[in-house]
Amino acid sequence: MFTACSSPEKCLRYADQVQRFGINFLRVAIFIVFAWIGGLKAFQYEADGIVPFVANSPMMSFFYNKKAPEYKLHMNKEGDVVPANIAWHRENNTYGFSYGLGTMIVSIGTLVLLGLFFPKVGIIGDGLLIIMTVGTLSFLITTPETWVPNLGGPNHGFPYLSGAGRLVIKDIAMLAGGFILLGTDFKRILKARLRHVKAEDSCCCNNN
C-alpha cells in the first residue's frame, strides 16, 4: 500500500482519506444495524426474545407487568407460535415495550446517520448510542441467560458466554464506535467555529 505513495505527504493524505471513509462508513453501518434491529422489534418473535434482558434489568424491568423469573414459563422459541404464551406477553406489556424500544433504536440510528451532514445532530445520536450500548452491556451482569447454565457440563458460568451473551458482548465495538463518532463531531463543530472566528477577524481587519 505505502509503496504506491511517491512521498510521505501523499501517503498521509491517502491515510486521511481512508480514515474519513471509515468514519463515514461507521455511521452508515450503525444506522443499518439499528434500523434493522429496531424494525424487527415490531415482530412477535423479536419482542419475546428480549424479555429475559428486560425482565432482569433493574433499569428496565418496571416496563413489564410480570416479575422475573415468571417469563421462563412462557418463552416462545423463535418462529414458534403458542397462543397461551402470546396472551401472557400481551398482559406483560412485552409487545408495547418492544414497539417503543424499536422506535427509539431506529431514531438513534437515524440521528447518527444524519451526523454525516449535521455534526450537532450527530452528537446527540452519538451520545444516545453510548448510553444505550452501556445499558446493553449491563445485561452481562443482570441477565442469567447470558452465561452457559450449569446443566452438568464442565463449562458454565463466567467466562462461558451463551448465545445471548455472545450477542451482547459485541456491543463493546458499538460503544467504541460511539466514542469515535462523538470525538469526530466535536472536532467538526470546533473547526467550524474557528473558521467562523477567523473569517470575522479577517473581515474586521479589512474594514480597518
Give the alpha-carbon dihedral of 80, 82, 87, 92, to 10 degrees: -50
The pLDDT assigned to 5 comes to 67
One-letter amino acid for residue 112 of the chain: V
The pLDDT assigned to 201 comes to 65
What does pTM read for this prediction? 0.89
User: Cβ-count burial of 191 within 10 angstroms (0-12 exposed, 13-18 middle, 19+ buried)?
Assistant: exposed
The pLDDT assigned to 205 comes to 66
The pLDDT assigned to 1 comes to 47
Q: What is the mean pLDDT of each run of 10 residues along the chain (208 residues)?
A: 68 90 97 98 96 96 96 92 95 98 98 97 98 97 96 94 96 97 96 80 65
